[in-house]
Chains A and B, each alone.
Chain A
Amino acid sequence: MSLLIKLFFSFIQVGLFSVGGGYAAIPLIQAQVVDLHHLMTMEQFTDLITIAEMTPGPISINSATFVGTQLGWQLGAWGGPVGAILCTLGCIIPSFIICLTLAHFYYKYRSFSGVQTVLSALRPAVVALIGSAGTSILMLGLFQADIQSFHWADFRWVEFIMFGVCLFILRRFKPSAVAVILGSGVVGTLIYLGIGALTGQGITGLL
């Protein structure tokens, strides 16, 4: 039981100090779980990050659930779910308190013209940040590398065409985002299965 309490407080610290998106949380989780409390090996931790990145949802929630489940099982059948819930709770409690306070003040003062002037200066930056995140994902899709280290030789036509078609459909017909994401996964996999079968490489040779 003391293990779970230790985890809970570790993840409160992760939640409190990971400012600026999911990747900021990775070194903090490593410090708590691998270096400080020796609850996981570095190998297990690398697996954890791979899986957290492959699955939907915030990376710190994914990691918290994974660590809680894996370590909780050692305490018995009930330990997995309890561990997952405790770690996730720890991770979100600081966010909840801080954001609730900020939301309260934002809605109280946002109609003031002075506050509006300051906020207007933030909006272009936010648009740029979202655009930059989109570019990173596009580069991963097209080259499996980021913009600093990509090679033209790795260019992937299938993803490029998929991107173009998806964007056209989104602009033209305004479907739901989830339908487009899911559709791109299904259609893209079928295309790769087809290419794999035609070239005789199989699907693994294409990754």
Chain B
Amino acid sequence: MKQEKTPGVLRKLFWSMFVLSAFTFGGGFVIVSLMKKKFVEELKWLEEDEMLDVTAITQSSPGPLPVNASVIIGYRMRGVVGSLVAILGTILPPMIIIFIISMCYEQFRTNPYIAVALQVMRAGVAAVIFDVVINLAKNVVKTRSILYIAMMVIAFILTCFFKVNAMLIILSCLGIGILDLLIDLYRKKGAAAK
């Protein structure tokens, strides 16, 4: 594993996670899109495939997705210390915000301006996710593998329209991947025998 040795990586890691975590309204996949934009496109710390692998691992492990992702990315950058720093960056914003709100939550819950702002912000959040998904989907299409493109389309239809559990989708694709590997090995063996 290639660790990042440049100075200031830990500080950058902490603040990146802190800012991303402070703005992830609505579920774990939002932060994955933000992390992809930040760590792959902006900072160029990770490769795109790596980010997708990390997402698959975080989705199949127990616990909050953003925390899981920060553990792995932190570990990738600076080992266990990196993990701890990334986790701290991830959990501090929600902790501070909830701590403040829990002292005056009646006013917060019933404030119409906050409700309107949160409703319209969904449009912005959705746009960010679609922007990331367009880039990712383009790369899947570029592989020119009918299997992968079909898997992407079918997985989307199943999760989006039929609410099939994400875990089940990942496990099925893991099965397809292992099958693909076995077929590959079998073919190579056949070719070697000739």
Residues of A within 8 A of B (CB): 15-23, 25, 47, 50-62, 65-66, 69-70, 80-81, 84-85, 88, 91-92, 94-96, 98-100, 102-104, 106-108, 110, 114, 117-138, 140-142, 144, 147-148, 158-160, 162-163, 166-167, 170-171, 174, 176-178, 180-189, 191-192, 203-204, 206-207
Contact = CB atoms under 8 A, between A and B. Distances in A.
B99 A57 contact: no
A103 B25 CA distance: 26
Contacts of B20: 178
A85 B95 CA distance: 8
B116 A100 contact: no
A167 B131 contact: yes
A103 B124 contact: no
Interface string B117-146: 111111111111111111011001001000
Interface of B is mostly: helix
Contact of A123 (B52, B103, B126): B52
A103 B67 CA distance: 13
A117 B155 contact: no
B121 A61 contact: no
| Chain B interface size range | 35 or more
Contacts of B193: none
**Interface pairs A-B: 6 shortest CB-CB:** A57-B94, A188-B120, A184-B124, A95-B63, A121-B177, A134-B129
Contacts of B59: 20-21, 126, 129
21 contacts: A22-B27, A47-B109, A54-B114, A57-B21, A58-B90, A62-B98, A84-B95, A91-B64, A99-B63, A114-B185, A117-B177, A118-B174, A118-B178, A126-B56, A129-B29, A131-B129, A137-B125, A142-B123, A170-B131, A184-B127, A203-B113
Given A94-B63, A137-B30, A148-B163, A55 B136 contact: no
